[in-house]
Amino acid sequence: MPKRKLLPKKQRVAAILAALDEQYGTEKICYLNYNEPWQLLVAVILSAQCTDARVNMVTPALFERYKTPQELGEADPKEVEEYIHSAGFYVTKARNIIACCQRLSETYGGEVPSQLDELLTLAGVGRKTANVIRGNIYDEPSIVVDTHVKRISNKLGFSKENDPEKIEYDLMKVLPKDHWILYNIHIITLGRQICVARRPKCGECFLAEYCPSCQCPAQPAAEASGASAVTEAAGAIAVGTGPETAEAITVAEASGTSAAGTGPETAGAIDSAEVSGGGAAC
Ligand code: SF4
């Protein structure tokens, strides 16, 4: 297979972002439904290992029953579990949501804090959730590394890391700040529609000419095997593009911070964890 020359990294990043903007627009959208900030926080906690669509089916009744963080913070865990049962990991999620709302109510007067370090003290909240809140509620430039962002950022050669926090820092260096929030929204859409985990549709992908992992025969990626490494002309970064390890749950939320739920309702319980395998959460 002939080698395909990629643009130098800086130009390639710019071309990818421009293509994403053109394809998907620049409107900031959130796939989780909510009316108030604390509801988005609860929805994101629920989205661990669960699709956004499922979360959106669960939350209307939950928010109808519990109308404020205080009410949810004082709720009976068993009752909350019933409301959120279909979102999975319901024992841990119920505990986290209740503990989180308790803290919102008691420490923050029912408001959702804006600072990362404060958000990270809430049960069930890790960097992903905190960045969703900062981006969507406070419009603070923040990069949410969910399952799609993790996988596709590796494919695009923006990071070769596996750890979401390291990927987040890599992306901060690569992406201009005005695209930190949009990047996540765009990549979620790309990951759902084209660069799907099991079989990326490279032949249909508008990023094919810029993507070092493109498997399209017409535009073969440099060394077009699934586990190739791509050396960029300019920055000479080598990017492993091997099959992303199963979309397994990788993210454990910083334990030292939030702590509420620990009940293992299933083996390998999610702890007070954000999980990157499921809902993309905005
Ligand atoms: S070219 Fe293929 S691997 Fe690259 S982003 Fe598009 S679908 Fe994903």
Q: Is 128 assigned a catalytic role? A: yes
| pLDDT of amino acid 89 | 97
Q: Distance from the CA of 193 to the center of ligand 1, in angstroms?
A: 11
Q: Distance from the CA of 90 to the center of ligand 1, in angstroms?
A: 35
User: Residue 203: which residues within 8 A CB-CB, separation 6 or more?
Assistant: 216, 217, 218
Is residue 69 pLDDT above 60, yes or no? yes
Q: How does residue 171 score in pLDDT terms, banded at 50, 70 and 90?
A: very high
| pLDDT of amino acid 5 | 82
DSSP state of 229: E
Structure tokens at 188: 């979620």
Nearest to 105 by CA among 28, 38, 30: 38
Contact 53, 33 (CB under 8 A): no
Q: Where in the chain is the domain with CATH 1.10.1670.10?
A: 9-27+143-240
Residue 196, SS3 per DSSP: coil
| pLDDT of amino acid 61 | 98
Is residue 190 pLDDT above 50, yes or no? yes
**Which amino acid is it at 264?**
P
Contact 60, 66 (CB under 8 A): no
Contact 127, 164 (CB under 8 A): yes
CATH number of 9-27+143-240: 1.10.1670.10
| pLDDT of amino acid 276 | 39
Catalytic annotation, pick one of 128, 150, 155, 271: 128
| pLDDT of amino acid 216 | 80
Report d(CA 45, CA 276) in Å as an integer. Answer: 11
Q: What residues flank ligand 1, with Cβ below 6 Å?
A: 152, 155, 194-195, 200-202, 205, 207-208, 211, 213-215
- Assigned CATH topology for domain 37-112: Endonuclease III; domain 1 (1.10.340)
What digits encode the pLDDT tens for the residues 85-127? 999 999 999 999 999 999 999 999 999 999 999 999 999 999 9
Nearest to 7 by CA among 177, 212, 242: 212
Contact 272, 259 (CB under 8 A): yes
Sign of CA dihedral 214, 279, 249, 145: positive
Q: Where in the chain is the domain with CATH 1.10.340.30?
A: 37-112
Report d(CA 250, CA 163) in Å as an integer. Answer: 8
Q: Distance from the CA of 182 to the center of ligand 1, in angstroms?
A: 18
Sign of CA dihedral 151, 157, 160, 165: negative
Residue 204 CA, closest ligand 1 atom number? 7
Q: Distance from the CA of 38 to the center of ligand 1, in angstroms?
A: 35
Catalytic annotation, pick one of 52, 93, 146, 170: 146
For range 137-163, the mean pLDDT: 96
Structure tokens at 12: 């390639």
Report d(CA 211, CA 269) in Å as an integer. Answer: 36
| pLDDT of amino acid 113 | 98
